[in-house]
């Protein structure tokens, strides 16, 4: 058995050799390298397979986003439609019913009935150069005729018929009616010319004239056809439809009479219409 000192020297030699070789002594604890912990399936770099759908969804939202005007314009349209409906509804509530309006005014109830659109507003002059509008004719039954003083045949016969009808209505039926003669030749039919012409038949016939535009407009409103033919200088003939209208106190056209009516037939027809209107107003 070797002495203790030899054993100690042998051990020291081994330790020196081991240190020179870089081997740790046996009593030191062995150290292992520490590895960083990273959960499986997650990535901090944004490259994992679970992170791709979320990034793709965000990109799609950005590409599908619409400008703000696409939402403002429909909202403005809906608001305008709602406002228009509200205003229209209130206007209908404020409107006066037709029956109540007729009772509140002096216009007879019969004036509120629907009839063909014949007639309209006008502004002409009588034989005394006084302005005559449709408002001045209201309140009376009117027999209106369109003609001209230079008419060679039909015109004078129709004016004579009007004079006879006025006399028959007053003497036989005790009815007063206002006869009206509207010229279709305002260039030649001045107020003085109309007065001289109509006084030969009946001075109660009121003659009306005016500018060419005013006469043309009134003829269109009453659906009267007329035109110049055979014009040579100041000489010409006016072709026209010889219509005669019966107007009620509301100045609405009740009937239209042609040249085939005789004075007696015309007086009876006018009387029938006036009585019919009186019976209707009495109900």
**pLDDT for 170-199, tens place per residue?**
999 999 999 999 999 999 999 999 999 999
Average pLDDT of the chain, as a whole number:
76
Residue that wins the pLDDT comparison between 191 and 6? 191
CA 238 to chain centre: 39
What tokens appear for 89 in the block? 């509804």
Q: What is the spatial distance between Cα 89 and Cα 170, in angstroms, rounded to a whole number?
A: 52
In a domain, 115, yes or no: no
In a domain, 176, yes or no: yes
In a domain, 80, yes or no: no
What tokens appear for 111 in the block? 């004036």
In a domain, 56, yes or no: no
In a domain, 11, yes or no: no
In a domain, 40, yes or no: no
143 strand-pairing partners = 179, 246
Q: For 3, which DSSP code? A: -
Residue 86: pLDDT over 90: no
Q: How many domains does the chain have?
A: 1
Q: Which CATH number does the domain housing residue 265 bear?
A: 3.40.30.10
pTM of the model: 0.60
Q: How confident is the model at residue 27 (pLDDT cuts 50, 70, 90)?
A: low
pLDDT at residue 113, as a whole number: 45
Q: In 3-state terms, what secondary structure has residue 183? A: strand
Q: What is the spatial distance between Cα 125 and Cα 121, in angstroms, rounded to a whole number?
A: 14
In a domain, 55, yes or no: no
Start-end of H helices in the chain: 4-21, 51-64, 69-94, 98-104, 154-172, 191-199, 212-221, 263-282
Contacts for 232-237 with beta carbons within 8 Å, 24 or more apart? Answer: 234/188, 237/150, 237/152
In a domain, 269, yes or no: yes
Task: Give the range of the structural domain holding residue 162, as residue numbers without chain letter.
Answer: 123-282
The predicted-structure confidence for 121-172, as pLDDT tens digits, reads as follows: 999 999 999 999 999 999 999 999 999 999 988 899 999 999 999 999 999 9
């Amino acid at each position: 058995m070797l002495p203790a000192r030899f054993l100690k020297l042998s051990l020291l030699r081994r330790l020196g050799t081991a240190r020179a070789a870089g081997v740790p002594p046996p009593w030191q604890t062995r150290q292992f390298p520490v590895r960083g912990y990273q959960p499986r399936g997650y990535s901090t770099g944004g490259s994992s397979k679970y992170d791709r759908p979320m990034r793709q969804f965000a990109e799609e939202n950005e590409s599908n986003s619409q400008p703000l005007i696409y939402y403002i314009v429909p909202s403005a349209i809906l608001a305008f439609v709602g406002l228009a409906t509200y205003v229209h509804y209130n206007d209908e509530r404020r409107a006066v019913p037709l029956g109540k309006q007729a009772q509140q005014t002096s216009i007879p109830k019969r004036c509120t009935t629907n009839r063909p659109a014949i007639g309209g507003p006008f502004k002409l002059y009588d034989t005394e150069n006084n302005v005559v509008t449709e408002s001045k004719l209201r309140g009376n039954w009117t027999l209106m005729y369109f003609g001209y003083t230079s008419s060679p045949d039909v015109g004078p016969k129709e004016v004579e018929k009007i004079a006879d009808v006025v006399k028959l209505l007053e003497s036989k039926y005790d009815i007063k009616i206002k006869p009206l003669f509207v010229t279709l030749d305002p260039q030649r039919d001045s107020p003085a010319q109309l007065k001289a012409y109509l006084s030969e038949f009946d001075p109660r016939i009121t003659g009306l004239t005016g500018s060419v535009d005013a006469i043309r407009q009134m003829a269109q409103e009453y659906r009267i056809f007329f035109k110049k033919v055979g014009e040579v200088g100041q000489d010409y003939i006016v072709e026209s439809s010889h219509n005669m209208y019966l107007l009620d106190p509301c100045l609405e056209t009740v009937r239209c009479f042609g040249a085939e009516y005789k004075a007696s037939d015309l007086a009876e027809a006018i009387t029938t219409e006036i009585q019919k209107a009186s019976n209707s107003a009495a109900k």
